[in-house]
Structure 1
Amino acid sequence: MTNQQRPLKQYEWVMNDLKERMLDGRLAPGDRLASVVDLAAQYNVGRSTIREALSALKAMGLLNIKQGGGTFVKAVPPEAAPVHPMQRYDDLWEGRAASLRHLLEVRRVLETGCAALAALHRTEEDLAVLEKLLEEMENSDDEHFIEQADVKFHQQIAAATRNPLLLELMESLSSRLHENMKDMRALWFYAERSSAERLLQEHIRICEAISKQDAREASARMDLHISKVEQVLSENKAGDHHLRMT
């Protein structure tokens, strides 16, 4: 899937691409979709992304998913006919970009301070947990599992501050953090034109600064980690803010 535009979230891009295929007749009622494994390879995304897209299409009444029997296209109801496709992408982006920007501002204020305090107060047990999460992020090929490990990594940094109020604040953002992590990872890959390896290295550098008990460096590394996504958001202007599959 090369040079096709998609909104920020991967499953939305897959969902809309499949929907377009149904609307223009490339996928006809009764057609059986490829397996989740084959679709994941076709779209170059994880299996969990494909499952999210299929579940959304099923909720729209466009797919019939038979347990153990495959996924089949249903007749497209008239109300599913789209407005101009680019308008749909623009609407999706504008709402998500504003929400992402606001949460990134909160994360910068909260997490740079958490990183600094964690460097001062962390224990060997904290480091062991952080290193285990980094290992899980490095060795897993399940993007949903990696995103969960990413959230836990940032929450463990808050726990290492030994300030229960900071941990409570991070945990209160847990569900929003999970969605934000998906967006951050997608934007990071776009900005770096690279793989998950560079993103993993950023986490490793944060952990190393905390391990060395260098509060200033830990805060700076966290700030850099968050700033990159803010930079990509600000650089993507109207009409040119869609990420591309490579």
Structure 2
Amino acid sequence: MVLTLVRYIREKGMKPGDKLPSIRTFATELGVSQSQVRSGCLRAAAMGVLKIVPRSGCYLADVTLSGIIGPFTLLFEAMYMNVQPPLIDLYELKTTLERGIAKRVAVIRTIEDLAELKRLLDAMETATEHAEMVRLDELFHEKLASSTRNPLFFSLMQVIHSMLRQSRLSYKDFVSEFPQSRKDHRALYEALRDQDALKAGDIAEQHSNRRKLLLVKNY
């Protein structure tokens, strides 16, 4: 119902501060029950999309980009709350994102970005526990995402990692294949350092595709 409300708001071109129709009017217009509308409004208010004023009604909140990232990720995760996340779909999304992320970071990365990536690479060299390897791998890719200066990239990467984590922790060959991952990460780091956007994009895509094929095959 929340998505229906958001779609309605967008289609009507509503702006922050605009009042939504009454629950009865809304239910009639959308062809749903009043209880569904009421529940949707309460959830939207909890997510910061709407503001409910007692004895007055529901108003569209002044939502900024930073303010919608949390609700956006929650909605994304909720899609697969009761089902096994589709590994192939997730990795196809991850591969597409990471190629674009790598190309962008190669152009705008800072010395500080490179230093943090290098610190994570060095930590990977001494990691011996499966869970620690997964954690460092996630941190490396999330650092890449945050280096784009686009919070949606970072948010999406966190969601993808959350949904892939259990399969990666259950994958018995993750440890034995980690040296190849470290090698890929080093090559990507060097391309970013040299500001070679095309090479960085290619390495990121190949790395993600390799993980996809191995995980899907063995999970």
Name the TM-score, length of structure 1 as normaliser: 0.49
Alignment partner of 1:216 is 2:203: no
Greater relative contact order structure (CA < 8 Å, 6+ sep): 1
Amino acid at match of 1:225: H
Q: 1:227 aligns with which of 198, 209, 213?
A: 209
Q: 2:99 aligns with which of 112, 115, 118?
A: 112
Q: Percent identity over the alignment?
A: 31
CA distance in 2, matches of 1:105, 1:164: 20
CA distance in 2, matches of 1:123, 1:199: 23
Give the 5 Å matches for 1:26-65: none
Find the residue that maps to 2:86 and give its secondary structure.
helix
Measure how far apart 1:224 and its partner are: 0.4
Aligned residue in 2 for 1:204: 186
Which structure has the greater CA radius of gyration?
Answer: 2
Over 3 Å counting, the alpha-carbon distance change for 1:127 and 1:179 in structure 2 is farther
Alignment partner of 1:123 is 2:85: no
Aligned residue in 2 for 1:152: 139
User: Would you say how many aligned residue pairs link Structure 1 and Structure 2?
Assistant: 137
Cα deviation code 1:28-65 (max 9, x no counterpart): xxxxxxxxxxxxxxxxxxxxxxxxxxxxxxxxxxxxxx
Specify every segment of 5 or more residues in structure 1 that has no aligned partner in the other structure, as ranges: 1-94, 237-241
Amino acid at match of 1:108: T
Measure how far apart 1:228 and its partner are: 1.7
Give the 5 Å matches for 1:154-193: 154-179=141-166, 181-182=168-169
CA distance in 1, matches of 2:149, 2:190: 18
Measure how far apart 1:231 and its partner are: 3.9
Find the residue that maps to 1:213 and give its secondary structure.
coil
Cα deviation code 1:200-240 (max 9, x no counterpart): 10111111111111111111001100122344468x5xxxx
Over 3 Å counting, the alpha-carbon distance change for 1:107 and 1:231 in structure 2 is same
Measure how far apart 1:197 and its partner are: 1.9
Cα deviation code 1:81-104 (max 9, x no counterpart): xxxxxxxxxxxxxx96x7211110
Specify every segment of 5 or more residues in structure 2 that has no aligned partner in the other structure, as ranges: 1-82
Alignment partner of 1:142 is 2:129: yes
Find the residue that maps to 2:138 and give its secondary structure.
helix
Amino acid at match of 2:106: A
CA distance in 2, matches of 1:181, 1:210: 26
Name the TM-score, length of structure 2 as normaliser: 0.55
